[in-house]
Amino acid sequence: MKAIRRFTVRTVLPEALSALDELAGNLRWSWHEPTRELFSYIDPELWKESRHDPVALLGMVPPERVQELAGDGEFIARANALRDDLHTYISQPRWYQSQTDAPSSIAYFSPEFGIAAALPQYSGGLGILAGDHLKSASDLGVPLLAVGLFYRSGYFKQAISPDGWQQETYPVLDPDGLPLSLLRGADGAPAQVALALPGSRTLFARVWQAYVGRVKLLMLDTDIPENEDSLRSVTDRLYGGGGEHRLLQELLLGIGGVRAIKLYSELTGTEFPQVFHTNEGHAGFLGLERISDLVAAGLTFGEALEVVRAGTVFTTHTPVPAGIDRFDRSLVEAYFSTDLLPSVGVHDVLSLGTEDYPGGNGAVFNMAVMGLRLAQHANGVSKLHGHVSRSMFSGLWPGFDEADVPITSVTNGVHAPTWTDPRLMHLAEERLGTSDTTVADWRSTAVSDEELWRVKTEMREQLVVDARERIRAAWQLQNPGSVIPTWIEDALDPNVLTIGFARRVPTYKRLTLMLHDEERLRSILTSRKRPVQLIIAGKSHPADDEGKRLIQRLVTFAQDPEIRRRLVFLPNYDIAMAQLLYPGCDVWLNNPLRPLEACGTSGMKASLNGALNLSILDGWWNEYYDGENGWAIPSSDAAGDAAERDALEAGALYDLIEHQIAPRYYDRGKDGVPTRWVKSMRHTLATLSPELSADRMVKEYVAKLYTPAGKAAAVIAEDDYAAGRELAKWKQEVRKDWGGVQVLHVESGGLTSVPRVGDELHVRARVQLGGLAPEDVSVQVIYGKSIEGDALEDTTTVELVPLVEDTDRPTTGAITLDGSTTFAGTVTLTRPGSFGYNVRVVPKSPYLASPAELGLVTMAH
């Protein structure tokens, strides 16, 4: 029998145990090992059964055990000490408080957050990254206020049918049973935001709060009585439903999210954020809500746009156009032709998302394009992805070289305390004097090879035990009432080289590349001398049948009695599984089609646990592979077709496993330790742990994006947005007059007959400025290596200054003759070899973050 309604009854704890409620209510427990150990002590079996969820655990503990703990003075003291430590953690100054000029408050919007298995509000890497971003922001003291949606059914739970087909179920979550609380008004009633919709309908949402250490996360929920039935389901599932359903979710996240922040600020007296960070295009509508407020306060749309842009950061995670959310223009038009944003005209909205560039589709509204147009600061998530993004979005900045497109990069990182196994942290603390594995000296002889290998072996054993339990549970789900086959008890071997592969299953990640030559893979797995085992997991989007077919093919292959002990597919990949999978693997495999992996953080988490990577040089691996921390699978980009490329790259994969990886792993000394392998583990831990840390990532965001955005926002808001008004007017005039800007003549001199390093090249450019003044433009010499086809590489820019024609001296103004202005400057030749240069004119203003910002450039011809 099924219940028609479910709710959670929380345990009432004795006053002596009040610290437990507070500790369970702050998600810091998800990465703070002493707090997790405290909850495990209450009842180890129930802690495991609750899937390491303190709120669930406290609801499961028998009353007699509660009374026993209430009388245990040592336990109470321990709990109170941890509560005091949490208070100190939340209140004491940390790294960020030592930063001068950094913004006082930052809003971080994301469609998903992967913080803990107990709060399943994520589908994959984007959500896990967002969760890690919040955790490191908390650890560093960054004043972040996060905003997302609360999905009543999360993403989905995955099961595999007997024929290998993915099956989805959507268990309904009860927020009262989670570490959440409602944001309430002064009267105690739940606070709400409202969005006007077409057809005189209104969408209401409550606001749940989660404490993530020092960071507050606001989550909007539409499953409330105030909504009609069709609207209660807006936040039913993550990435569920069709185009209009998705649009409603993104309107709620962006517009409703800013309204939730305004409510929160009013109710709590906290400062409204200076900087807004849009994590992927899903939250892009947040900029429109902020524009609407400014227009209502007296600014024009153009002025408000400049104010909003100055303080907005946009992060793109998408390396392929097909991965970007696009909506029919007519659908967006219908939603904004209402009172949703009464201060903003629908045509202004549509212009932000229009693909009005060569190759664009004028019938769609592009969320990433809007995100870039609403943000003065943008980035990709690895160096290679930054390059890909500049190429993919270059149409927004016509005439500029790819290198000038204003999209930088901040390579993702992962939160070390969340993803590093406690065994490794304890080893670092005992032998190296710190539990922070990112700063521990892993090359020190204070940790012997034997000790490090013992810990790795224990982590592998832990994974094998967990994998067998999951295989057993999956079998029982598929075959209820059947006897569990004996082979499951022998599945996997804790002493065999273990390779992990786990991620979402879109086709470009090539889950089944390893099956390209099934017989060769079979021989690798079943080798008597050097056996290998593969542990694989991953979910395909419910609407992606092609991805499901890949899973089915892999599962079918794994059912072969000859290899089922050496290759397993674990269903329902989630945080809880991952926290055992990454530490337990010796090698982490990643074989996407290059360059379609924006970053890929699973291999990072494995590296934090001493695993070596085996990967295509894509995403983060492209910039961190050094020959000692793993192996690079050669990319066959020049292959004739996809089949040939797969064949070549699969062959390289097999070769590496057979001839390099397995021999190194099984090369053991008399003590049974693979010394050469452990050397690579030490190197990986010592060099990658600090680099792959989310702390490094968040510090980069602060330095490269948040601080510049905060400064720009402060300047442009001064004196009732005087600079914003000035910038909007100036941009309008520049765009109007730019057609009259021309480079009429370029001349150079000063070089000897044979140019040498150290010589000076004097450049003059006569420029027609039309209706613009010299201070409105930057006339630049772009010089560098001159290669085939006259293209320039490794370029450097020198700005020329306007001259007074009759004295040939620099001046703050310029005397124009015949309507032109002469600009001049000097280039010093600093390196030998081919040399080339050109002159260009771009708009210039102290309020621009990039010379390419307006997309206007005039080149000399």
Residue 813: pLDDT band (50, 70, 90) is: very low
Which of 28-42, 264-278, 629-643 bottoms out in mean pLDDT, i.e. has the lowest?
A: 629-643
For residues 302 and 348, is the Cβ–Cβ distance under 8 A? no
For residues 494 and 464, is the Cβ–Cβ distance under 8 A? yes
| Res 756: pLDDT | 87
Residue 10: pLDDT band (50, 70, 90) is: low
Question: Integer distance in angstroms from the first to the last C-alpha of the chain?
Answer: 79
Residue 861: pLDDT band (50, 70, 90) is: confident
DSSP state of 124: S
Average pLDDT, the chain: 94
For residues 208 and 183, is the Cβ–Cβ distance under 8 A? yes
Which is nearest to 192 in space by CA: 203, 179, 181?
A: 203
Q: How many residues does the structure list for the chain? A: 861
Tokens describing residue 762 = 């004097």
Strand, helix or coil at 228?
coil
| Res 807: pLDDT | 45
Is the pLDDT higher at 416 or at 758? 416
Give the dihedral of Cα atoms 532, 535, 608, 158; nearest 10 deg. 170
Per-residue pLDDT at 806 exceeds 50: no
**Secondary structure E strands in 701-819:** 742-749, 760-768, 777-786, 792-804, 809-810
For residues 814 and 822, is the Cβ–Cβ distance under 8 A? yes
**Secondary structure E strands in 130-240:** 144-149, 157-160, 166-169, 181-182, 192-197, 201-212, 215-221
The fraction of the chain above a pLDDT of 90, given in percent, is 87
Per-residue pLDDT at 658 exceeds 80: yes
* DSSP per-residue codes, 60-122: HS-HHHHHHHHT-HHHHHHHHHHHHHHHHHHHS--GGGG-SS--S-EEEE-S-EE--TTSEE-
Which of 1-5, 223-227, 530-534, 556-560 bottoms out in mean pLDDT, i.e. has the lowest?
A: 1-5
Strand, helix or coil at 775?
helix
DSSP state of 283: G
Q: Decide the pairing of beta strands 192-197 and 215-221.
A: unpaired
| Res 814: pLDDT | 52
State the Cα–Cα distance between residues 208 and 218, nearest whole angstrom. Answer: 6
Residue 320: pLDDT band (50, 70, 90) is: confident
φ, ψ for residue 347 (rounded to 5)? -70, -35
Per-residue pLDDT at 358 exceeds 90: no
Per-residue pLDDT at 638 exceeds 90: no
Question: In this predicted model, what pLDDT tens digit does every residue of 152-207 receive, in sequence order?
Answer: 998 999 999 999 999 999 999 999 899 999 999 999 999 999 999 999 999 999 99
Per-residue pLDDT at 817 exceeds 80: no
Angle at 454 (CA atoms; ends 625, 423), nearest 5 degrees: 80
* DSSP per-residue codes, 664-676: HHH---TTS--HH
Other Cβ atoms closer than 10 A to 22:
15
